[in-house]
Amino acid sequence: MQTGTQRRRPTIGLVAGGLGAYWPQFPSLLPTLKQSAAYVSERISGYDAEIIDVGFISDAQEGAVAAERLRAAGCDLIVGFLTTYMTATMLMPIAQRSGAPVLLINLQPTESMDHATVTTGEWLAYCGACPLPEMANAFTRAGIEFRSVSGFLRDERAWTKIGNWIKAAAVRKVLRTGRHGLMGHLYPGMYDVSTDLTMVSAQFGGHVEVLEYDDLRVRVQQVTSAEIEAKIASVESIFEVTDSVDADDFAWGAKVSAGLDKLVADFDLDSLAYYHRGLEGEQHERLAAGMILGASLLTARGIPAAGEYELRTSMAMLIMDILGAGGSFTEFQALDFERGHVEMGHDGPGHLAISSGKPLLRGLGVFHGKRGWGVSVEFDVAHGPVTLLGVGQTQDGRYSLVAAEGTVVDGPHMKIGNTTSRVDFARNPGDWTDDWSASGVGHHWALGTGHQTASLRAIASLMNLPLVEVS
């Protein structure tokens, strides 16, 4: 069984090539191209991925051998480096047999040739663009999806694009192999949250582990006093614990958090969505009410936990976390027309790693719209550029990624145990809210740091999902 960390490292296949007919004609060309291929291999090896470099191919026969090696490696993305002209038949078997998405890169040695002195052999090292239309046409006719990046070897613009495709391959791998916990039941009446588990596996891949709150109950019962004390000590080092926190509620939240750690480990989960209503303070109600602390700690560890049974949002949070953006459980709270801001957040789990400061732990005598009471998490996402990501669904059942970029800015905040961020979209907040709501997104989404739309475009391409961008 792979661990969650192993599931996050994509396998990237790398093959470079050129037309073997050139080598006897221009003896210095192949060493030059292999030097470029070595640089590309070194740069790609710098990403958090397993790299399968099958070397340099010069004809269709060598391409077929490389195809078999890459097929056996189970690649999540294959990068084909077009160093000079090469025929489509050299890469077609690699693309066809691997079943992996293909990225074609054309990186010439420098920004421009020295046209006054360049020889034919030297020019051919700049001719990686030459086969790109040929590859594109052949792949299209064969029904093979591809994408391409053109530039020069030390072109950081091009390498940013290549990096986005590699990060997208990591997201694709996690979603295809991930294990997503779904515990409890739907928040009554939230039709948008209702999720067809078969369609999750069909469109994203992975496995949904259906859990009972009793799965958590038995693990919480196993938590020892020493484990509670250790958890409290850890929480006190992470949070500012306000005077509103009741000691018994704090201990209960810590105990539930320790039980959640056991649940996630026992079921090897990459994400968790949960909700339970309960009645009159019975044990399941108390479990559900005690989850905010532990869910926030899990989310900060890269195992997003979303309340209100929001499986699709926990997956959006996971995508953002893989991108290094965090991904906090978020919904609308209010619109501030005076300042031009959209206030958003949630009275539940947040991604502590992207807090603007030390998060607060606040005690609440009542949770709005939910049963129970206890401790809640309060913070503002770090100020600066942010990206929203939700998973929408259309009438035909097809999922979509819904994204928007904005900026978290300063301003007044509620002090009611909610994560709250003020987001400026440089538009009238009412107009922006109407457009976002019309996008097909659901009630909740993930809020992450940085502008991530370029990476999300790559993810949508590799996952064969539409991306709706709200400006």
SS3 category, 49: coil
Cβ-based neighbours of 311, under 8 Å, separated by 6 or more: 180, 182, 193, 195, 200, 208, 273
Of 126, 66, 130, residue with least CA distance to 102: 66
Dist CA 217 CA 231 (whole Å): 18
Please check whether the two domains, 4-175 and 178-469, share a CATH topology. Answer: no
Dist CA 67 CA 93 (whole Å): 6
State pLDDT tens for residues 6-19.
678 999 999 999 99
Burial (Cβ within 10 Å: 0-12, 13-18, ≥19) of residue 398: middle
Mean pLDDT (whole number) for 283-290: 89
Dist CA 431 CA 442 (whole Å): 18
Q: How confident is the model at residue 378 (pLDDT cuts 50, 70, 90)?
A: confident
Average pLDDT over all residues of the chain: 93
Contacts 24+ apart (CB under 8 A), 238-243: 238/297, 238/352, 238/358, 238/359, 239/358, 239/359, 239/360, 239/361, 239/377, 240/358, 240/359, 240/360, 240/361, 241/360, 241/361, 242/360, 242/361, 242/362, 242/363
Burial (Cβ within 10 Å: 0-12, 13-18, ≥19) of residue 409: middle
Tokens 């999750």 belong to: 200
Q: How confident is the model at residue 1 (pLDDT cuts 50, 70, 90)?
A: very low
352 φ, ψ (degrees, to nearest 5): -60, -30
pLDDT value at residue 338: 97
Parse the chain into domains and list their residue ranges: 4-175, 178-469
Mean pLDDT (whole number) for 151-163: 97
Question: By the 8 A CB rule, do 152 and 105 touch?
Answer: no
User: Residue 225: what residue type?
Assistant: S
Percent of the chain exceeding pLDDT 90 equals: 82
Q: Whole-prediction pTM value?
A: 0.93
Q: How confident is the model at residue 373 (pLDDT cuts 50, 70, 90)?
A: low
Higher pLDDT, 337 or 282: 337
Q: For residue 356, what are the CA distances in angstroms to 197, 306, 402, 420?
A: 35, 20, 25, 11
List, edge to edge, every strand of the sheet that includes 374-378: 240-241, 360-364, 374-378
Dihedral class, residue 94 (left if φ above 0, else alpha if ψ from -120 to 50, else beta): alpha
pLDDT value at residue 376: 86
State pLDDT tens for residues 105-145.
999 999 999 999 999 999 999 999 999 999 999 999 999 99
State pLDDT tens for residues 52-74.
999 999 999 999 999 999 999 99
Under CATH, to which class is 178-469 assigned?
A: alpha beta
State pLDDT tens for residues 196-253.
999 999 999 999 999 999 999 999 999 999 999 999 999 999 999 999 999 999 999 9
State pLDDT tens for residues 429-463.
999 999 999 999 999 999 999 999 999 999 999 99
pLDDT value at residue 279: 81
Six-digit token string for 3: 């661990």
Question: By the 8 A CB rule, do 401 and 468 touch?
Answer: yes
pLDDT value at residue 152: 98
Residue-level length of the chain: 471
Domain 4-175 adopts which CATH fold? Rossmann fold (3.40.50)
Dist CA 29 CA 18 (whole Å): 10
Question: By the 8 A CB rule, do 344 and 331 touch?
Answer: yes
Strand partners, 344: 332, 421
Q: How confident is the model at residue 3 (pLDDT cuts 50, 70, 90)?
A: very low
pLDDT value at residue 414: 82
Mean pLDDT (whole number) for 271-280: 89
Dist CA 327 CA 463 (whole Å): 19
Cβ-based neighbours of 61, under 8 Å, separated by 6 or more: none
Question: By the 8 A CB rule, do 328 and 447 touch?
Answer: yes
